[in-house]
Structures are given as C-alpha cells and as structure tokens.
Amino acid sequence: MKYVEAGGARVSAIGVGCWQFGSKDWGYGKEYGERTALDIVNTALDLGVNLIDTAEAYARGASEAIVGRALLGRRAEAFVATKFTPATPTATRVVDHGRQSALRLGVDQIDLYQIHWPNPMFPLRPQLDGMRTLLDEGVIANVGLRPTPPSAARCSPTRCTSRCCTASPTRPTSRTRRPTTAS
C-alpha cells in the first residue's frame, strides 16, 4: 500500500468512497447497509486502506452513520473524511452540520471536513469562518474544498488575512493535500 503525508497524518493513496452506503436510490438495500458496507470498511482497513470518504448528503446522513458503525473499535486505524453540502452555507450552518456529522460518525474529531461542491452564490469566507470554529472546538482536524474553485486561490494562507485561513502551529487548516502522489 502506498501512503502520503497529509496534514501530519499518514493516509493511504487510495480510499473507500462511501457514497452508496445507505442509498436506496441505487438499489442498495438494508442488508447492504447493515452488513456489506461494514465488511467493505473492515476489509479495507485490514488491507491498509485507511482513507474512508463519506458525506452528509450521501443517503441523507445514513452513509456517515454506517461508517461510524463500521469503525467501532477501529477508529484509530482510519482517516475519516466527510463533506458539508452548502445549500445555504453560513458559518452557523457549517458549524451545526459539522457537529451533526461527528455525531453520526460517532467520532470525537473528523480528520478532514470538506465543503462539498462550493455554492458559487455564496462567498467562501463565512464558510471558512465556520470551519475555523470547528477547528478551534476540536470537532475537525483539517479543512478541505472539494472541488477547489479558482476563487479559492484568494484564500491561500499566504494571501488571506482572515483568521479562517491562518495556519495554526498545532493543527493544519486548509492545507491538507489530496492523496494523489504516493510517497
């Protein structure tokens, strides 16, 4: 297995995408969510794949809950990434949704919390302010944008003076690299 260093964590170069966990839309029934999905996550961890990727939008939060059940007793082995879906992405909503995701996942801290498909009708700064609150509270360890729009270049730590983009000496903020280059 190949790994990359991301935000101070060792992350597998490939991951398990959990969009189908809990989804009835694609024909995945109750048995899949209760057994098969858990087997998939555990087999991946057994093989050294530690990047587990989900989102609150996947099956309306059911995917996160299934991932949480799959990680019982194995949380320390996984790098958990989930995403916020910004329909109305205010700082308060980002914070509320981050806390709800952590509860569904059954984790004290989400390793990577991402803005899933940034809404071009809303500025990024309030969303990143919400992410900063979650970082400060310890609910999340790293922040990401997925996919990263060209406008996000204005929010790099070297150009942005907002506290949401200021790098913390103890926790990285939006500097988590996507695991595309194995080392």
**Structure token digits, residue 172:** 């990285």
**The CA-based dihedral angle spanning residues 176, 179, 182, 183, taken in that order and rounded to the nearest 10 degrees:** 20
- Type of residue at 123: P
Q: Could you tell me the two tokens for 13?
A: 């170069």
Active-site residue set: 58
Q: What DSSP string runs through 136-176?
A: HHTSBS-EEEES--GGGGGGSTTT--STTTSPPSSS--TTP
